[in-house]
Amino acid sequence: MPSDSVDPRLEEGVALFNQGEYYACHDVLEAIWMEANTLEKPFYQGILQIAVGLYHLGNHNWQGASILLGEGTNRLRPFEPTHGGVDVERLVDCGWAWLTALQQSGRERVADVAAAALQAQGEPAAGVDPKAVVAIAGVEHHLPALHISA
């Protein structure tokens, strides 16, 4: 799919995601999604679903986070490896890693996963492994930074 049809407001949505402002990211991307052509809609919807999944995680909503992280990552797969300046492959891997950690930890540990997510927001520092080892309820997970890369 040609990425020249990508809406320029995507940059604003990505910046909000990278700042951990997931609900605001959702608002920007939803506006783009509603106006997008049929072929581009799943791209925007996938990113906004991951953002809303992380928003739900922050509110300790295990079910909402699980559903939306799964739906968002699946919706983005056809756009791999990159689309519209976004490293979609990395974002899909990130969404699955966090979904897996959330599911393995279970409902009773959603607050622990949310705390780990807060620590993982933002771009990894130069020279730092982008998949840090995070312990959630005594179980080590290799989880990527919550950051959309170009």
Question: What residue segments make up the domains of the chain, in order of their start?
Answer: 7-144
Report phi then psi at 121, rounded to 5. Answer: -75, 140
Both tokens assigned to 73: 């990552």
Contact criterion met (CB below 8 Å) for 72 and 27: no
Cα–Cα distances in angstroms (integers) from residue 130 to residues 19, 90, 121, 136, in the given order: 16, 10, 11, 18
Contact criterion met (CB below 8 Å) for 29 and 51: yes
pLDDT of residue 133: 65
> Which uninterrupted H or E stretch holds 104?
helix 88-105
Reduced to 3 states (helix: H, G, I; strand: E, B; else coil), residue 52 is helix
Q: Which amino acid, 100? A: T
pLDDT of residue 142: 79
Domain at 7-144, CATH homologous superfamily:
TTHA0068-like (1.10.3450.10)
pLDDT of residue 50: 98
pLDDT of residue 129: 53
Q: What is the pLDDT along the chain (150 residues), one digit of tens a residue?
A: 344 566 889 999 999 999 999 999 999 999 999 999 999 999 999 999 999 999 999 999 999 999 999 999 999 999 999 999 999 999 999 999 999 999 999 999 999 999 888 888 876 654 445 566 677 777 787 788 888 987
Enter the pTM of the model.
Answer: 0.89
